[in-house]
Amino acid sequence: MIEGIITKGVGGFYYVRTLDSTIKSRARGVFREDNLTPLVGDRVKVRISPEDNTGYIVEIAPRKSQLLRPPVANITQAIIVISIKKPEANLWLLDKFLLMAEYEGLDILICLNKSDLDMDKAEEYKDIYIKAGYDVIITSAKEGLGIDDLKNRLLNNISVFAGPSGAGKSSLLNKINLGFNLETGDVSTKTKRGKHTTRHVELLKFYDNAYVLDSPGFSSLDLSFIEDEREVRSYFREIHKYGEECKFLTCLHDKEPNCAIKSYLEDGIIHKTRYENYLSLMNEVKNIRRY
Ligand SMILES: Nc1nc2c(ncn2[C@@H]2O[C@H](COP(=O)(O)OP(=O)(O)O)[C@@H](O)[C@H]2O)c(=O)[nH]1
Ligand SMILES: [Mg+2]
Ligand SMILES: [Zn+2]
């Protein structure tokens, strides 16, 4: 039996990448009985049928994680890419992507791209998010800055690249591996094209045991999977951390008395924008219509 990882599923076939080849495989019926459908990212065992030389997936290893959108198993980390300029960094959007990655329990790396356009801003944002408790790297896909750091972070991981369209995700991936040859371009030309191209989920191998997802992570920014707005507290790292000092466990760090978050805010330990985005995202979750 051969071990590998499913990198793509098309037309009832699963493409299983092994150390040295890709095996086009079918799933055995036994998974259907268990209500288990193989997913991209699944680590599987394959048996080659001597009759038709195709592979049969005979075993799926227990999943470490499972993303819904895109549907991929065993993702270990999210690389959240945001551009400093063109388009201008939108920290509210960044915080929303962070919220989703925290909800999924992924390791997170923030990648501040297009630093060639404004290094001072990049440093300023880096400080904000380092202080919030995140790993941050400053990159420029154009000038090749930070690419080695990014590569190192990808080793021994299955990574999903998330972030707004035009931030430079595909450009960064192309820098990491020329062979990927992913389509890049400005936002306007892509949205036109985007309507006509069907997206499929595919894992790209960049090194032994290093895979990246080429379709955009968290493609829907709908937060309705969060059932209770109070959960948002635990998805903002620094608010979760300092919030433990609040007088009341139920404190939402909004208008309650003796809220520790307020004093950290005044001291500048918690950044004002992060706090505002926390309140606004909590509000967004609260106002989602649930049927
Ligand atoms: N100046 C500059 N432009 C970049 C950089 N990275 C990407 N771009 C440009 O930004 C546009 C969008 O990049 P793309 O990789 O398609 O973004 P994606 O939508 O996140 O995959 C393209 O025109 C790229 O050439 C960078 O580091 N600096
Ligand atoms: Mg892209
Ligand atoms: Zn509080």
The two structure tokens encoding residue 66 = 């499972």
Rg over CA atoms, the chain: 21
CA of 19 to the centre of ligand 1 (A): 32
Which residue type, as a one-letter code, is found at position 211?
Y
Q: What is the DSSP letter of 289?
A: -
- Residue 161: beta bridge partners? 79
CA distances to 164, 167, 248, 257, 267 from 187, rounded to whole Å, are 10, 9, 46, 45, 39
Specify the pLDDT at position 122: 98
Residue with CA at minimum distance from ligand 1 atom 24:
185
Could you say which ligand is closest to the alpha carbon of residue 118? Answer: 1
Nearest by Cα to 236 from 266, 261, 259: 261
Which residue type, as a one-letter code, is found at position 69?
R
Which atom in ligand 1 lies closest to the alpha carbon of residue 115?
A: 27
Cβ of 159 closer than 6 Å to ligand 1, yes or no, is no
Task: For residues 251 and 273, give the distance between their C-alpha atoms in angstroms, rounded to a whole number.
Answer: 20
Could you say which ligand is closest to the alpha carbon of residue 87? Answer: 1
CA of 41 to the centre of ligand 1 (A): 27
Specify the pLDDT at position 194: 43
Nearest by Cα to 5 from 55, 80, 78: 55
The two structure tokens encoding residue 69 = 């959108």
Task: For residues 38 and 7, give the distance between their C-alpha atoms in angstroms, rounded to a whole number.
Answer: 11
Specify the pLDDT at position 33: 72
What count of Cα atoms within 13 Å lies in the side-chain half-sphere of residue 93? 18
Specify the pLDDT at position 25: 95
Mutational pocket test of ligand 1: of 171, 212, 218, the residue with most ligand atoms within 8 Å of the beta carbon: 171
Cβ of 184 closer than 6 Å to ligand 1, yes or no, is yes
Specify the pLDDT at position 250: 94
CA of 161 to the centre of ligand 2 (A): 9
What is the SS3 assignment for 30?
A: helix
Contacts by 189-192, CB closer than 8 A, 24 or more apart: 190/165, 190/166, 191/165
Mind listing the pLDDT tens digit for each residue in 212-240? 997 676 777 889 889 999 999 999 999 99
CA of 237 to the centre of ligand 3 (A): 14
Specify the pLDDT at position 273: 97
Low-confidence ranges of the chain (pLDDT < 70): 186-199, 215, 217, 291
Which atom in ligand 1 lies closest to the alpha carbon of residue 86?
A: 10
Task: For residues 98 and 121, give the distance between their C-alpha atoms in angstroms, rounded to a whole number.
Answer: 19
Specify the pLDDT at position 291: 64
Share of the chain above pLDDT 70, in %: 93
CA of 226 to the centre of ligand 1 (A): 31
Could you say which ligand is closest to the alpha carbon of residue 270? Answer: 3
DSSP string, 110-166: EEEE-GGG-HHHHHHHHHHHHHTT-EEEE-BTTTTBTHHHHHHHHTT-EEEEES-TT
Task: For residues 38 and 165, give the distance between their C-alpha atoms in angstroms, rounded to a whole number.
Answer: 29
CA of 258 to the centre of ligand 1 (A): 45
Specify the pLDDT at position 221: 84
